[in-house]
Structure 1
Amino acid sequence: MSQSTPRLEVVAPASEVWSLLRASAEAAALEEPRLASQVNAVILAHHDLAGALSFQIARKLGDAELGAMTLREVCLEAYRADPAMVSAAEADLQAVAERDPAIRSLLQPFLYFKGFQALQAWRVSHWLWMQGRETLAFHFQSRISELFQLDIHPAAQMGSGVFLDHGTGIVIGETAVVGDEVSMLHGVTLGGTGAERGDRHPKIGRGVLLGAGANVLGNIVVGDYAKVASGSVVLKPVPAGCTVAGVPARLVNCPTEATPARTMDHTLADVVYDFVI
């Protein structure tokens, strides 16, 4: 029986992310020659992360209506205008490396993880939205939804160092705000409570962990470093540093651990509070 490949050290300073990604690509091309052409085209043929990201997004989202070459030009335009988008992508890659015990190198999320890929494509759609190019932003949203099975409105706000684990089924509404260093699993909804207009979606603080299938509904705040247990329905604000669970969600531990989004610890401590928040 073959043993599983040991996990490589993939966490690195932002300044080293591109070098580490290239090194992983070079090793993969030698290990699996049948994929060498793909790895070269997507990563090794480029001089920096912006070039590789633009190529990867374009080859994924390009279709008969908007070809890959045109999409790549849009992405490069966005990265030139706002280099912070590339820095955010570096932080997002670092987040995957730090929080996902399954990965072996940065090559995996870059080439194959739809949560990471969808997030980077969304960042371009958000830039387009902020430039007033709403139709093209909606085109990006539609293609992201079709390809990756998650739906993030281009007007939503997302921080950096965000980890969308698996990604499938995530829905984030128009006026939602997601802070830095947030981790969320599949099936998370940041939605409204009805057909109301205006500011109607949740505000998720820094370092929050949102478990699989969690639903946070309405214009409410989930405080920094809070934890929402899998399958919960949150309808009222969550204090910073607290854990909520259930339908409707109740406070079950407060304070909780210091950095739940980084540890990815979805277990629940013994109930400390047991009342509807």
Structure 2
Amino acid sequence: MSQRLEVIDPATPPPVWASLRNEAEAVSRKEVALASLLASVVLNHDRLGDALSYQIARKLGDTELRAMSLRDIAKQAYDSDGTLVAKAEADLRAVFERDPACKGYVQPFLFFKGFQALQVQRVAHWLWEEGRETLALYLQSRMSEVFQVDIHPATQIGSGIFVDHGTGIVIGETAVIGDDVSMLQGVTLGGTGAERGDRHPKIGKGVLLGAGAKVLGNIQIGDYAKIASGSVVLKPVPAGCTAAGVPARLVNCPTCEEPARSMDHTLAEVVYDYVI
């Protein structure tokens, strides 16, 4: 039976980078065939930002933008904005704490494309804010090609985000995502047509977005709300409520206290008789 490589105490969590390196060393000894990979991606670096830069370059480098050039761009972002590393640490913790299939930090860092795509978007967002929009859009394009995750570089995303599986996620330019949000594959945060300006959803803190959920338009999804899998939401959802169905209806208010952390996708048996 597989066991997690560490147990995290939420009150006093160990440093993410130290834990990641320790895990990488342990895996290198156990899986010699992966020792070179773990050395190049994790163990040869002194800081998490440097390892992230290498990983992004390794994944997205191509004939148009060579890996070394991409690595320099990512490193510039991490050196210039320390919040990017802090957010990456919080994202890694979120994966470990919320994904029962995750046995440590090495797995998401090396293999989970939801986590990796999110880190690419964070670098692309830094470029966008620096006025380097064309390069930011290039990273978005490569992210979509490699990970099947399409997040506009202008999207504002908080920390502690868990992107599970990742495949088919689409998030528009003016979307805003609060801290501690969890989302599964096939989520769309999009517009309702060809309107311009502020046209995408605003997702509050601690929201859970189920697989295939579609939230469309410049609407607010309140803190700690839950959007059930396969739902189509076109109107605001109050804080602490669950919306489900096509079109979405409120099915319980309040929902569970922290749905994004508990990953509780269950629904109440009593459904309100109005459409949101």
Normalising by structure 2, we get a TM-score of 0.97
Partner of 1:35: 34
Residue correspondences, number: 274
How far off is 1:15 after superposition? 5.8
| Ranges in structure 2 where 5+ consecutive residues have no aligned partner | none
Partner of 1:227: 226
What amino acid is the match of 2:6?
E
Write the deviation string for residues 119-149 of structure 1: whole angstroms up to 9, x where unpaired: 0011000000000000100110000000000
RMSD: 1.0
Partner of 1:165: 164
Partner of 2:48: 49
| 8 Å contact kept, 2:203–2:221 | yes
How far off is 1:174 after superposition? 0.4
Partner of 2:192: 193
- Is it true that 1:9 corresponds to 2:36 in the alignment? no
| 8 Å contact kept, 1:10–1:104 | no
Q: Where do residues 1-277 of structure 1 align in structure 2 (5 Å cutoff)?
A: 4-11=1-8, 16-277=15-276
How far off is 1:243 after superposition? 0.3
What amino acid is the match of 2:131?
G
Write the deviation string for residues 179-204 of structure 1: whole angstroms up to 9, x where unpaired: 00000000000000000000000000
Runs of 4+ in structure 1 deviating by more than 2 angstroms, as ranges, are 7-15
What amino acid is the match of 1:84?
T
Q: Secondary structure at the match of 2:15?
A: helix
How far off is 1:7 after superposition? 2.5
How far off is 1:274 after superposition? 2.7
What amino acid is the match of 1:146?
E
Give the Cα separation in 2 of the matches to 1:59 and 1:235: 39
| 8 Å contact kept, 1:10–1:20 | no
How far off is 1:9 after superposition? 2.9
User: Taking structure 1 as reference, are residues 51 and 10 closer, same or farther at Cα in structure 2, changes over 3 Å only?
Assistant: farther
Q: Secondary structure at the match of 1:171?
A: strand
Normalising by structure 1, we get a TM-score of 0.97
Give the Cα separation in 1 of the matches to 2:215 and 2:246: 11
What amino acid is the match of 1:6?
Q
User: Taking structure 1 as reference, are residues 48 and 14 closer, same or farther at Cα in structure 2, changes over 3 Å only?
Assistant: farther
How far off is 1:272 after superposition? 4.7
| 8 Å contact kept, 2:5–2:23 | no
Percent identity between matched residues is 70
| 8 Å contact kept, 2:8–2:14 | no
User: Taking structure 1 as reference, are residues 14 and 198 closer, same or farther at Cα in structure 2, changes over 3 Å only?
Assistant: farther
